[in-house]
Amino acid sequence: MTWIADIIVDVPAMQTDQPFSYEVPDHLVDVVEVGLRVEVPFGNGNRHIQGFIVGLRETLETEVELKAIIGVLDLHPVLTHELLALADEMKETTYSYKITCLQTMLPSVMKSSYTKYVTQTDKALPKIIEEELFLGLAEIEWEQAQESPHFAELLRLKKTGHVDIRYEVTTKNKVKTKRVLKKVMTNEQLQAERENLRKNAVQKWRLLSFLLEIDEAEHGIKEVMETHDISNSAINDGKKLGWLTIEEREVYRDPYALHQFKKDEPLVLNSEQQEALDTMKESMDASKSDVFLLEGVTGSGKTEVYLQAIAHCLAKGQTAIMLVPEISLTPQTVTRFKKRFGDDVAVLHSGLSQGEKYDEWRKIERKEASVVVGARSAVFAPLENIGLIVIDEEHEGSYKQDETPRYHAKYLAIWRGNYHHCPVLLGSATPSLEARARAQKGVYRLLILNERAVSKATLPIINIVDMKLEMKNALSTSFSNQLLEKLKERMEKKEQSVLMLNRRGYSSFVMCRDCGYVLPCPNCDISLTLHMDTKQMKCHYCGHEERIPYRCPICDGDKIRYYGTGTQKIEEELKELLPDARVIRMDVDTTRKKGAHEKLLKQFGAGDADILLGTQMIAKGLDFPNVTLVGVLNADTALNLPDFRASEKTFQLLTQVSGRAGRGDKSGEVVIQTFNPDHYAIQLAKNQEYEPFYQHELKLRHRGNYPPFYFTTQLVVSHEEEHLAAKKMFEIVHFLKGFLSPNAIMLGPTPKSVARMNKRYYYQTVIKYKNEPELSKGLKVILEESQKEMRNGLRITIDMEPQHFI
DNA sequence: AGCACGCCGACT
DNA sequence: GTCGGCGTGCTC
């Protein structure tokens, strides 16, 4: 009888994307478990790599000679059966390798790195090699050896057995420890020790006095040394003299250790909130895997509903996951959860260091936290007995990962909801068309919050400024008179303003400054993109091309301009227009450093600035009572992106940013500068009219055969040579047509809007379809082929339901 | 991926 | 006749 383990090895390739069988050596039989990471030999040579056990079986007949597992990397499984099954789902739906999916589910420190060494054997080496390569050492790193002029000689010595190759698998998941002391003597004994001290033994006297004060509990040595001014050597002496014991204790790197969270109580819900909560509770109690869409205007108190629903699930002894978009995982959000649930909360987001992430993960795994708040990847939290999964701002594109594996956290959350027989709650003020349509069809259950729950505070007054008129008045800056006046007003009243510059679509289109006209594609409902390199306007969906116009085809004006601007330029303009204004600029440049984001917001919150100027990142979750003015400098840019979601994104952004004004007692005002004041996305955002927007947009999607009526799949091919990328893209399209019915629509192949990135040319094709059972077979062949094509410098990606088309 | 094998052209 | 270039195929 032998135990065999089926193992997924750390080789992300098509040919190795399957379990390999290994023998479990006797000494590991009691340790191995499904979900454990192990070190295994793989391939010829004695290369060692990491693997995941995905199956264990006992067998009588000795199959083909199997290699044996070398050792384990964990003492307990790091992936549950559930997460292993989820990895299968992910692999199938994202066209990626199983090993990539498994690694994505774990903190990055658990990914192995490999080092290769050249070691000496008992056979003597030539003197020159010994002296100039090994430098007297028993072994050296392979990478170093490769650079040496003696490398060729080394290879020969390897063949003759004079040197060996050793592979090392290392994983960085180190636990942080701290030293603690515990007294072992009775107070009488300690007292006696103290009396016997020499007069000048000040340190020991202090230590003994300290030990006399304390009880039998453990005390952190670092803290004792600091607070009682006792040296490390005195403590070590104390150990030798038998006064105390020293031990190492594991500690968590708690990023919130310095914060104090005062416990708060649930708020009283209004009748709408209560109704929504009751419906949720009913579903939770009946263990139904319902998906709810909670549609609530900004300020309707969605978060309080989440908190109380989660509290209900904890009260039943279950656990919960709360996903929030990366960008809005502000200290404010975290605080709200920590205040309600205390240490029961684990937080996972990209602002944490690798070690901190690992520790939060460990806290969850050890069942020391039952609520997980985090960004996209928190959907993989190793919780058991989940009772509820909440996805806040459900419409956010950041729930989809834009590199392999291109999973969508929303759909994986729903998968987990099914597995645990628990509901999933999607919340948004501006639901995605996809989610809202599913609610309409009854696939999701719709819950609506119409009332503002917080202060019955009025909706902010929203002013739309027609920048075309401003331009006629020879405006030379990015600020309309109206916005500038209002900014001055706030400064006089010592109130604060937030200015948002929409950076999406930077400079990528041309627009008539007289009438706001943007060149559309004659075949698709989107605008054309400017390609300066070829001096052409191109459609990224169907490939249509035309010249850059120099006169506006509508008003015949000649003020056709490339459109786009940056935060730095705006800041300079502000300095000239309002020299006294204190401005905090927040964009990718000023927030790159860890903690910078938080720091800037803190400064602004403390009133250290009059104006917060930033990009999209300031649109969400900020809650500053003294902000009474929000200005959107350029509402149009996102609108003109060659993306069928352009209107949706603009509407969502404007609705959200408007919600930033007037959070306190003072009422707020919003100024939206636009060249398209009559566009439905802008007009409907003005009064936060989601329903009419949804209805209107849905019609357009229907007409254009876009989601939610059609599924979309994007294929991208890139190569350093443009014609090779194009050629391959055409071949793929031709090939895929054999797997598609005539109902499927192909857009492309076309070059991508940024046709050349990092010296590579990109071509893309988008397939729109309703029901194509053969498509996945075709895509799997493409995936297989992409592996081989790598050798020819081609990169091929498959993106199911892409979020961005640029 | 990464390693070995094998077949080819360029050297002593 | 050997060294080393890269194309090909396999890894429990």
Render pLDDT for A348-364 as a digit per residue (tens, 0 to 9): 987 788 889 999 999 99
Across the range A209-219, mean pLDDT stands at: 84
DSSP 8-state assignment for residue A377: G
Summarize pLDDT for A391-431 with one digit per residue, the tens. 999 999 999 998 999 999 999 999 999 999 999 999 999 99
Across the range A690-696, mean pLDDT stands at: 93
Please state whether strand B lies within 7 Å of residue A47 at its CB atom.
yes
- pLDDT in the model for residue A789: 83
Is it the case that residue A207 has pLDDT exceeding 90?
Answer: no
Answer with the residue of higher pLDDT: A25 or A145: A25
- pLDDT in the model for residue A361: 94
Please state whether strand B lies within 7 Å of residue A155 at its CB atom.
no
* Nearest nucleic acid nucleotide to A23, CA to C1' distance: C12
* Nearest nucleic acid nucleotide to A42, CA to C1' distance: C11
Which of A157-171, A226-240, A480-494, A555-569 has the least mean pLDDT? A555-569
Using 50, 70 and 90 to split pLDDT, how confident is the model at A506?
Answer: very low
Task: Retrieve residue A276's tokens.
Answer: 């929504």
Give the residue with minimal CA–C1' separation from B3. Answer: A44
Is it the case that residue A770 has pLDDT exceeding 60?
Answer: yes
- pLDDT in the model for residue A372: 96
- pLDDT in the model for residue A134: 84
Provide the β-strand partners of residue A586.
A614
Give the residue with minimal CA–C1' separation from C7. Answer: A791
CA-nearest of A570, A565, A573 to A507 is A565
- pLDDT in the model for residue A422: 97
User: CA of A12 vs C1' of C8, distance in Å?
Assistant: 19
- pLDDT in the model for residue A507: 41
Is it the case that residue A532 has pLDDT exceeding 70?
Answer: no
d(CA A304, CA A300): 9
- pLDDT in the model for residue A475: 64
| Binding site as annotated, residues of A | 512, 515, 521, 524, 539, 542, 552, 555
Instruction: Classify strands A760-769 and A583-586 as parallel, antiparallel or unpaired.
Output: unpaired
Answer with the residue of higher pLDDT: A557 or A685: A685
Strand order in the sheet with A386-391: A345-348, A371-374, A319-323, A386-391, A424-428, A291-296, A445-449
Q: Which nucleotides of B are covered by protein (CB under 7 A)?
A: 1-4
d(CA A391, CA A323): 5
- pLDDT in the model for residue A754: 60
Is it the case that residue A379 has pLDDT exceeding 90?
Answer: yes
Please report the domains of chain A, with CATH numbers, ordered by start residue: 2-110 (3.40.1440.60), 113-170 (no CATH), 271-449 (3.40.50.300), 461-504+566-700 (3.40.50.300), 711-800 (3.30.70.360)
User: CA of A801 vs C1' of B12, distance in Å?
Assistant: 61
Using 50, 70 and 90 to split pLDDT, how confident is the model at A505?
Answer: very low
- pLDDT in the model for residue A173: 80
d(CA A551, CA A559): 7
Is it the case that residue A331 has pLDDT exceeding 60?
Answer: yes
Please state whether strand B lies within 7 Å of residue A562 at its CB atom.
no
Across the range A769-796, mean pLDDT stands at: 88
Using 50, 70 and 90 to split pLDDT, how confident is the model at A381?
Answer: very high
d(CA A33, CA A27): 13
Using 50, 70 and 90 to split pLDDT, how confident is the model at A564?
Answer: very low
Give the residue with minimal CA–C1' separation from B5. Answer: A44
Q: Which nucleotides of C are covered by protein (CB under 7 A)?
A: 3-4, 7-8, 10-12
- pLDDT in the model for residue A436: 96
- pLDDT in the model for residue A242: 85
Across the range A771-783, mean pLDDT stands at: 91
Across the range A535-543, mean pLDDT stands at: 69
| Binding site as annotated, residues of A for Zn(2+) | 512, 515, 521, 524, 539, 542, 552, 555
CA-nearest of A427, A457, A220 to A325 is A427
Across the range A486-499, mean pLDDT stands at: 86
Is it the case that residue A504 has pLDDT exceeding 60?
Answer: no
**Which residues are in reach of strand C, CB within 7 A?**
A 11, 13, 15-16, 20-23, 41-44, 64, 66-67, 152, 155, 791
**Distances in whole angstroms, Cα of residue A281 to Cα of each of A287, A315, A413, A448, A468:** 10, 11, 18, 16, 52
Summarize pLDDT for A628-655 with one digit per residue, the tens. 888 888 887 777 777 889 899 989 988 8
Average predicted confidence (pLDDT) for chain A: 85
Is it the case that residue A734 has pLDDT exceeding 50?
Answer: yes
* Nearest nucleic acid nucleotide to A791, CA to C1' distance: C7
- pLDDT in the model for residue A573: 80
Q: Can you give the pTM of this predicted structure?
A: 0.84
Answer with the residue of higher pLDDT: A459 or A580: A580
